[in-house]
Structure 1
Amino acid sequence: MSWDDFAKNAKDAADWGATYHKTIRDRPVRAQTSPGDIAAQLDTTPPEDGTELAAIMADFERIVMPGITHWQHPRFFAYFNSNAAPASVLAEFLTAIIAPQCMLWQTSPAATEMETRMMDWLRHGLGLPDAYQGVIQDSASSATLAAVLTMRERALNWTGNIEGLSGQPTLRIYCSDQVHSSIDRAIWVAGIGQDNLVKIRTTGDLRHMDPLDLEAAIAEDKQAGRIPAGIIAATGATGMGACDDLQSVAAVAKEHGIYTHLDAAWAGTAMICPEFRTLWEGADQFDSIVFNPHKWLGAQFDCAAHFLRDPDQLRQTLAIRPEYLKTHGAQDVTDYSEWSIPLGRRFRALKLWFLMRHYGMEGLRARIRNHVTWSQALCDRLSAEPDFEIVTPPILSLWTFKVAGASDDDTQRLVDAINDDGRIYLTQTLVDGQKVIRFTAGQFDCEERDFDTAFDTITEIARR
């Protein structure tokens, strides 16, 4: 393909994309295919000869699109949204065209310096103190793993990477029983082991870690000769939006000299609205904080904002400097590959620059406030229906419900029937051991009418 051909095809792709988004409400939210349907249409061996792009695009429509769950659908109320605001999409398009590898300052100075400034913009937007510095990771999972590795090295006096974990004291990490499974996986990858992840029971409407239980678990481990290495708290946990009492957690951590990490992957975006910051009071006392602009802020996946009080501890954990990665002749430059687990890095800051400049912080706040208002109004409407039960009240735009008296099997059948219908997409979760239906809102372009459709769909199918 020549670059002249590229220009024509890129214009066609942009037109296709605009039409797709303008007509997306006409599509079922979740893919309606069965396992194996897509694979059966794909050749088992690669082609020997080239194919015209027009034919490939026709096959894209015929084969790929029926098997796509539409994450940009305004009635995607499942999981947490993975957004793609138009301005962010354009930035990603430009990034794909110039295709830089941004591992070092010298390999793309603009990418490094823009990343520094965009993380300052986000920090300012969240109301975090100037003491924090930031780095863009690919996901909250990677940021959490980086935090756990830092906990490990700090607790072992920076000997784990050199000597390995064999023969070292047993390390313990503490979290609530509501945290995301990525915390468990980080413990595995870090070599600490599942048995050394201590999950503290939660209490109250926000399902926060009980500070007395946390204190008792730490004291017991110290008495047994184990080393408390870190505490991972949550604001807006995935299941039902659990939020830890961060001030209490920080106080316990300070008393024992323990590294703290806050997973605010979804809810962190809402903290650009000052009125929602009561949910994470005390966040400014944590060593490490992560949230995902690719969830609620509108940035294209992948983009996780990782803030650190002391980046030197992270660099001491991850930095490795062979001669071919050294930048000579430039002083005081930042190489963000020393802050990340992968060496290679994408130009993720560009989409944040486009996004925040185009919409402005107030425009982004307005969207979040609308999502919260509309979601909570839907919860109120459903709670007024005699045959429905709100199991956990809204935390921002996330809440859970069920049909009153329904068994777990009944609830799952209802979730499946709603998703097969296609008008909206929901998921199930467990709360206090019972299966419930989880509703969350955050698609960048959703409107109030989409919540009306959600009410009609849920009540109609449940009663049918």
Structure 2
Amino acid sequence: MDPEEFRRAGHAVVDWIADYWETVGQRPVTSQDPPGAVAAALPAGPTEQGEPVEAVLADLDRIVAPRLTHWQHPGFFGYFPANTSGPSVLGDLVSSGLGVQGMLWATGPACTELETVMLDWLADLLDLPKRFRSTGPGGGVIQDSASSAALVATLGALHRASKGRWRTDGVDRRYRAYASTQGHSSIEKAARMAGLGADGVRAIEVDPATQAMRPAALRAAIEADLAAGVVPAIVVATIGTTSTTAVDPVAEIGEICAEHGVWLHVDAAYAGSAAVCPELRWSHAGVEYADSYCFDPHKWLLTGFDCDAFWVADRGELIEALTVMPEYLRNAATESGVVIDYRDWQVPLGRRFRALKLWFVLRWYGVEGLRAHIRSGVALADRFAARVAADDRFELAAPHPFSLVCFRLRAGDEASAELLRRVNTTGRVLLTHTRIEGRYALRLAVGSPLTTEHHVDEAWHLLSTEADALLSD
């Protein structure tokens, strides 16, 4: 494919994406076909001769698009938003076209420096502590996801807790990680990957009313472990838990961590985006105690997956924990000590030029555009929650500080589960579920830039209509 062929094919692909966005709301949110349908529709092997891009796009229309779960659909209210935008897609296209390998400053100076500046921009936008800036002792880096951020934070914490011995001796004694019972599954996975074993994470009980971690329970767990000869290594506090968007009391947790010298990682994967709005920064009270912090612009900040923004208060600790320098990577810039080599801030060596899509998004929308997007999601969730609260058949199952609403039928778990099944079967919306204090609850998460009051009202109409039919059966 020469440049002129690429130009023609590229126009066709961009047109296809634009058409998809224009019509995605007319499609069923989820595929109606059984497992194996895509595999059965594909040929047994590649063609002997090359095909034009039009043939590929035709099969994209015929085979792939009808069998997707459409995360960009305005009726997609499942899980958490994972939304992209035009500027993000264009930034990714440029990144792919450049094909930069940004493992070292020397292998991509602009790749490294743009990322450093973008993370400083984001830290300013969220009003994070000054020590997270690259101009101070810390700094930021783009990880692929909050799961990787949790693993990197755990490795940094183990390095500190062992006074560097884990690099040479491995996990030479028992260390512990702590998170609430509502903490993300990636915390347990990170502990296992770091060698802490199946009991490496102690789950801390939450307040039943708020679903937030109880600091007194954390303190008791740490003191019990110390008495048993177990070394507390890391506490993960969550701002916006996956199940209900509960906000842990970070300030109180941070004081306990500071008292015992335990690394505090704050996971704000979903709700971190809310802090672009000054009126929602209450959720970040206490972040000044954090040794590391992350959030996902690829969830609620219009940046396509994968893009997790991760900061550390002391980059020296992280680099010391993770750096490995083979001879073939040695270079004058690294030896000078004046550049950042992001390979030392993550698990893999290689890295894409992810900062480009973030740069495109921040410049296209600006601060006010991003705030408008977040405020719209919160307002739409409030609109839906008001419908629930006003209907005697339903009840709100948890507080809804951001753009997730958890609710249920008062008729009980079986009725709520059946309601979810019926509504999702319509193809107009997709909701997911959770359990809160053992009881079944439906989750409606707003986040798509395509979602309007009309789509939220349609979701409520579907729920109300199906509830009528269900409760009258």
Please classify the TM superposition score into its range, dividing by the shorter chain length.
Answer: over 0.9
Alpha-carbon distance between aligned partners in 2 of 1:301 and 1:452, rounded to the nearest angstrom: 28
Q: What is the letter of the counterpart of residue 178 of structure 2? A: Y
1:320 and 2:324 aligned: yes
Contact kept, 8 Å, 2:235 with 2:263, in 1: the verdict is yes
Q: Which residue of 2 aligns with 1:35?
A: 35
SS of match in other structure, 1:203 = coil
Q: What's the CA shift string for 1:189-220, capped at 9, x where partnerless?
A: 11102212111100053322111111111111
Q: What is the letter of the counterpart of residue 242 of structure 1? A: A
Q: Which residue of 1 aligns with 2:442?
A: 437
1:415 and 2:420 aligned: yes
Q: Which residue of 2 aligns with 1:119?
A: 119
Once structures 1 and 2 are overlaid, which stretch shifts more, 203-212 or 250-259?
203-212
Q: Which residue of 2 aligns with 1:457?
A: 462
SS of match in other structure, 1:30 = coil
- How many Å apart are 1:129 and its aligned residue? 2.2
- How many Å apart are 1:22 and its aligned residue? 1.2
Alpha-carbon distance between aligned partners in 1 of 2:333 and 2:52, rounded to the nearest angstrom: 48
Q: What is the letter of the counterpart of residue 429 of structure 2? A: I
Structure 1 runs not aligned, ≥5 long: none
Q: Which residue of 1 aligns with 2:197?
A: 193
Q: Which residue of 1 aligns with 2:135?
A: none
Q: What is the letter of the counterpart of residue 449 of structure 1? A: H
Q: What is the letter of the counterpart of residue 27 of structure 2? A: R
- How many Å apart are 1:41 and its aligned residue? 1.1
SS of match in other structure, 2:16 = helix
Q: Any residues of structure 2 matched to 1:12-27 within 5 Å, and which?
A: 12-27=12-27
Q: Which residue of 1 aligns with 2:69?
A: 69
Q: What's the CA shift string for 1:321-347, capped at 9, x where partnerless?
A: 112222215630111111011111010
Q: Any residues of structure 2 matched to 1:127-138 within 5 Å, and which?
A: 127-132=127-132, 133-138=139-144
1:345 and 2:345 aligned: no
Q: Which residue of 1 aligns with 2:378?
A: 372
Q: Any residues of structure 2 matched to 1:27-426 within 5 Å, and which?
A: 27-132=27-132, 133-165=139-171, 168-203=172-207, 205-329=209-333, 331=336, 332-407=338-413, 409-426=414-431
Q: What's the CA shift string for 1:125-172, capped at 9, x where partnerless?
A: 01012211111111000000000111122111212122222xx22111
Contact kept, 8 Å, 1:73 with 1:443, in 2: the verdict is yes
Once structures 1 and 2 are overlaid, which stretch shifts more, 327-336 or 389-398?
327-336
Contact kept, 8 Å, 1:206 with 1:241, in 2: the verdict is no
The TM-score with structure 1 as length reference comes to: 0.97
Change (3 A) 1:183 1:329: closer
Alpha-carbon distance between aligned partners in 2 of 1:159 and 1:44, rounded to the nearest angstrom: 52
Structure 2 runs not aligned, ≥5 long: 133-138
- How many Å apart are 1:109 and its aligned residue? 0.8
Alpha-carbon distance between aligned partners in 1 of 2:127 and 2:198, rounded to the nearest angstrom: 35
- How many Å apart are 1:450 and its aligned residue? 1.4
Alpha-carbon distance between aligned partners in 1 of 2:239 and 2:276, rounded to the nearest angstrom: 14
Give runs of ≥4 in structure 1 deviating > 4 Å: none
Q: What is the letter of the counterpart of residue 142 of structure 1? A: S
Alpha-carbon distance between aligned partners in 1 of 2:418 and 2:37, rounded to the nearest angstrom: 23
| % identical aligned pairs | 41
Alpha-carbon distance between aligned partners in 2 of 1:341 and 1:461, rounded to the nearest angstrom: 47
Contact kept, 8 Å, 2:333 with 2:339, in 1: the verdict is no
SS of match in other structure, 1:369 = helix
Contact kept, 8 Å, 2:105 with 2:333, in 1: the verdict is no
SS of match in other structure, 2:159 = helix
Q: What's the CA shift string for 1:295-346, capped at 9, x where partnerless?
A: 1010111000001100111111111111222221563011111101111101
Contact kept, 8 Å, 1:245 with 1:280, in 2: the verdict is no
What is the RMSD of the two structures over their aligned residues, measured on CA atoms? 1.3
